[in-house]
C-alpha cells in the first residue's frame, strides 16, 4: 500500500470508530433516560440509516451518470450486500438495544470488546491467517487496559442482559468479518440496511402486540434518527471502506477505541471527570494498539523481502 492509501485507511478507521463511539453515547442517553423503548429505538435507527444510505446512493449514482454520460454503459454487476449480512446486522442492533437496558455500561463494554476480539481473531486463525507475536501481546495488553477501565464499575449482570449482549457482540464480530470481503462498501452497506426493513416491520408488530412497553418521546425519536442516519449509516460506510485493507488483528484491536472515545465524549457532554484510572487504561490500550501495528508492520516487511 502507498503512504496515501495508508493515511486514507487510518482516517476512515478513526472516523468510523468515532461515529460508533458517538452512537454508544446517544444510545445510552436515549435508553437510560427512558426517552424511547428498545424496539422503537432499533426500528428508527435502522430505518433512518436505510433512508440516509438511499439518499447517498442516489447522489453518487447521479454524480457518476453526469461524469460518465459519454461513456459506454458498464456491464459490471452492482454489489448488493446479502440477506445473511442483513440478518446479522438486525440481530446485532436489536439485541444490543435490549441487552443495554438490562446490563451495566461497564459490563456491556467489556463483553462487547472481548467477544468481538475473540470472534475476529478466532476466525482469522481458523482460516490460516498468521499473527505476529507482537500482535497477540498487543491485543492482550489492550484488553487489560479496557478491563482496568471498567473493572471498578463492574456489577453482576442479569442473565438476560448477559445473553443479549453476548449475542450482539458475536453478531457484530460476524458483520465485521463479512465486511472485510466487501468490494463496494457503499452499495453493500446500503442494501444490507434495506433488507432489514421487513424485519423491522415484523419485529415492531410483534413487539406491539406481545408487550405493553412501547413508548416514544420527541427527544427519543430525534436521538434514534440521529443514531441511525449519522453515526450508524455514515459510520458503517467508512468502516466497510477501511475493513478490506485492515488486518484481522487491527480491525479487532481498533474496536477497543470505541469505549475509550465514548468516555471522552461523556466527559465533554456530561462533565464526567477524567480519572487516573482512565489515564492508565488509555495508556495500556494505546500501547496495545501500537504493538498490533508493529507486529503487522513486521509481517509486511517480511512479505516484501520474500521473492
Residue 75 has pLDDT above 60, yes or no: no
CA distances from 212 to 27, 205, 217 (A): 21, 12, 16
Confidence category of residue 303, pLDDT binned at 50, 70, 90: low
Question: Higher confidence at residue 305 or residue 15?
Answer: 15
pLDDT of 266 reads 66
Q: What is the mean pLDDT of residues 273-278?
A: 70
Task: Say if pTM beats, i.e. exceeds, 0.85.
Answer: no
Report how far apart, in Å, the C-alpha atoms of 187 and of each of 16, 81, 89, 271 are.
17, 7, 15, 39
Give the pLDDT band (50/70/90) at residue 8.
Answer: confident
Q: List the chain domain ranges.
A: 3-66+78-301
Q: Given this model, what pLDDT does residue 264 score?
A: 72
For 19-51, the pLDDT digits (tens) are: 888 887 888 788 878 899 999 999 999 999 999
Name the one residue in this structure whose C-alpha cell is 475476529: 120
Chain segment 156-171, per-residue pLDDT in tens: 557 787 788 889 989 9
Q: Report the candidate in 9, 16, 300 with the shortest Cα–Cα distance to residue 175.
A: 16
Alpha-helical regions (H) of the chain? 3-32, 38-67, 83-100, 105-126, 133-150, 159-179, 185-210, 218-226, 233-242, 248-254, 257-270, 276-305
When pLDDT is averaged across residues 191-200 and rounded to a whole number, the result is 93
CA distance 107 to 229: 27
Region for 81 from its dihedrals, namely left if φ exceeds 0, alpha if ψ lies in -120 to 50, beta otherwise? left
Enter the C-alpha cell of residue 72.
459506454
Q: Residue 287 — very low, low, confident or very high, per pLDDT cuts 50/70/90?
A: confident
Q: What pLDDT, in 10s, does the model give residues 207-266? A: 777 776 788 899 999 999 999 998 988 888 888 788 777 766 677 667 767 767 776 776
Amino acid at each position: 500500500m502507498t503512504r496515501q492509501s495508508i493515511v486514507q485507511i487510518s482516517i476512515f478507521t478513526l472516523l468510523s470508530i468515532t461515529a460508533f463511539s458517538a452512537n454508544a453515547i446517544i444510545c445510552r442517553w436515549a435508553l437510560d433516560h427512558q426517552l424511547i423503548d428498545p424496539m422503537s429505538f432499533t426500528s428508527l435507527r435502522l430505518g433512518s440509516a436505510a433512508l440516509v444510505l438511499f439518499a447517498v446512493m442516489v447522489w453518487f449514482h447521479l454524480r457518476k451518470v453526469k461524469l460518465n454520460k459519454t461513456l459506454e454503459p458498464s456491464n459490471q454487476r452492482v454489489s448488493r450486500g446479502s440477506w445473511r449480512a442483513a440478518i446479522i446486522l438486525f440481530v446485532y442492533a436489536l439485541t444490543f438495544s435490549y441487552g443495554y437496558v438490562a446490563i451495566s455500561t461497564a459490563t456491556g463494554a467489556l463483553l462487547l470488546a472481548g467477544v468481538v476480539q475473540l470472534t475476529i481473531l478466532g476466525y482469522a486463525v481458523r482460516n490460516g491467517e498468521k499473527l505476529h507475536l507482537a500482535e497477540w501481546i498487543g491485543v492482550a495488553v489492550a484488553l487489560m487496559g479496557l478491563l482496568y477501565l471498567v473493572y471498578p464499575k463492574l456489577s453482576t449482570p442479569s442473565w438476560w442482559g448477559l445473553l443479549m449482549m453476548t449475542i450482539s457482540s458475536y453478531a457484530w464480530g460476524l458483520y465485521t468479518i463479512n465486511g472485510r470481503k466487501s468490494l463496494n462498501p457503499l452499495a453493500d452497506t446500503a442494501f444490507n440496511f434495506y433488507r432489514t426493513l421487513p424485519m423491522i416491520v415484523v419485529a415492531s408488530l410483534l413487539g406491539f402486540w406481545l408487550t405493553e412497553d412501547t413508548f416514544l418521546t420527541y427527544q427519543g425519536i430525534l436521538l434514534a434518527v440521529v443514531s441511525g442516519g449519522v453515526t450508524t449509516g455514515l459510520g458503517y460506510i467508512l468502516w466497510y471502506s477501511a475493513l478490506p485493507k485492515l488486518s484481522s488483528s487491527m480491525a479487532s484491536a481498533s474496536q477497543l477505541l470505541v469505549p475509550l472515545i465514548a468516555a471522552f465524549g461523556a466527559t465533554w457532554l456530561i462533565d464526567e471527570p477524567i480519572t487516573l484510572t482512565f489515564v492508565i487504561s488509555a495508556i495500556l490500550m494505546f500501547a496495545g494498539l501500537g504493538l498490533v501495528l508493529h507486529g503487522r508492520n513486521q509481517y509486511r516487511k517480511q512479505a516484501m523481502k520474500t521473492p
